[in-house]
Amino acid sequence: MSLSPSDPNASKGGPAPAEPTLRKPVTIRTLRAMCKRGERFACLTAYDATMARWLERGGVEVIIVGDSAAQVVLGLHRTLDMPLDLAIAMTAAVKRGAPATLVMGDMPFATYHESDEQAVRNAARFMTEGLADVVKLEGDASFASTVAKLTRAGIPVCAHVGCRPQTVALTGGYRIPGRTAADAERVVADAVALEKAGAVLLLVEGVPDEVTAAILRSTSVPLIGIGAGTACHGQVLVIQDLLGLTDDPPRFAEPLLNLGPQIAAAAAEWGRRVRSGNIGGQRYVMHEGEAARFGIRGGSGPESSGAATPPGPMGSTEGPGKA
């Protein structure tokens, strides 16, 4: 967080608030109404308040705090290793950054599989500590009782069907489901069963268009797609894929920016500036007359001239700033 003097929270140590937003908070009802009007809604992932703030300013209706954080934030190889406490903390950060956006917390692997009680306990943490509006879980039809228990507890659920990255250890790698008629029927049956159990949203990942079309024909809640064609009511991408920060993005993700090389260029420029002693920005100054009282002649030392004076060796008492 920048300690800008205009930031009213700077002295409180609290999170920087988002700019006031003019739109009413997006809710499940908003999404249903959009679907009824035939309007599509935009979803993206985010994992921190700053990114969330900018996505809300861009008008995105839904932010998913995906367990993809395990890969894009933590640098792990799979989503299976996403820690629950961190997922909850990130979800709260995103909601603080985007208070008028529908924020979905993604329940990590093994945080809802043990029992329905475990699922309710952990989903409730997403809703209370995590400020989530909806929780997402990956599942097939056998997860219907879990969805029903969460729904009974008043927890809105988005059921994630199709390609389910949390089953990667079982399937031996990411696979595209629904390429055969039998498999396609299974994915549609999963979506139908989970909606029937109470899911207020569905998300389908990585399936052929025909499967998406069949889900749309067989269900009535808003359907979010990722790599599932264009027919869905909403579309989501991992934000790093959209911004051009991913080295090898999935085939369905078309970056709209190429931020990676720009970040590397900014880092290189910063390095050049640091080495030349020309770091830009503005300095803090002592009150009138205090520098003289402090024993430093104002305006003549290396600190005030901005000159690139090489630092002394580590531990030396003669580097800049110690004069």
- Shortest Cβ distance from residue 64 to ligand KIV (Å)? 4
Pairing between strand 234-237 and 41-45? parallel
- Shortest Cβ distance from residue 70 to ligand KIV (Å)? 8
* DSSP-assigned letters across all residues of 229-260: -S-SSEEEE-HHHHHT--SS--TT---S--HH
Handedness of CA 122, 73, 205, 216 (dihedral sign): positive
Establish if 236 lies at the interface with ligand KIV (CB under 6 A). Answer: yes
The answer to whether 79 and 117 have CB atoms below 8 angstroms apart is: no
Q: Give the contact letters, 28-47, x = binds to ligand KIV (CB under 6 A), - = no.
A: -----------------x--
Write the DSSP symbol of residue 76. Answer: -
Establish if 68 lies at the interface with ligand KIV (CB under 6 A). Answer: yes
Establish if 64 lies at the interface with ligand KIV (CB under 6 A). Answer: yes
Which region among 64-72, 184-192, 244-252, 292-300 touches ligand KIV (by CB under 6 A)? 64-72
User: Which is closer to ligand KIV, CB of 209 or CB of 290?
Assistant: 209
User: Which is closer to ligand KIV, CB of 134 or CB of 238?
Assistant: 238
Establish if 212 lies at the interface with ligand KIV (CB under 6 A). Answer: no
HSE, CB side, 13 Å, CA atoms: give it for residue 137: 35
**39 carries an active-site annotation:** no
- Residue identified by tokens 């920048």 is 2
Handedness of CA 292, 295, 300, 301 (dihedral sign): negative
User: First vs last Cα of the chain: how many Å apart?
Assistant: 30
Q: Which residues, at least 6 apart from 76, have a Cβ–Cβ distance to it below 8 Å? A: 70, 82
Establish if 205 lies at the interface with ligand KIV (CB under 6 A). Answer: yes
Q: Which of 205, 269, 290, 303 is catalytic?
A: 205
Establish if 225 lies at the interface with ligand KIV (CB under 6 A). Answer: no
Which region among 66-74, 124-132, 170-178, 276-284 touches ligand KIV (by CB under 6 A)? 66-74
Establish if 66 lies at the interface with ligand KIV (CB under 6 A). Answer: yes
- Shortest Cβ distance from residue 250 to ligand KIV (Å)? 10
Separation of alpha carbons 172 and 175, rounded Å:
9
How many residues sit close enough to ligand KIV to count as binding (CB under 6 A)?
Answer: 11
- Shortest Cβ distance from residue 36 to ligand KIV (Å)? 24
- Residue identified by tokens 């329905």 is 116
Separation of alpha carbons 71 and 78, rounded Å:
6
- Shortest Cβ distance from residue 82 to ligand KIV (Å)? 8
Q: Point out which residues bind ligand KIV (CB under 6 A).
A: 45, 64, 66-68, 79, 106, 205, 226, 236, 238
- Give me the active site residues, please: 205
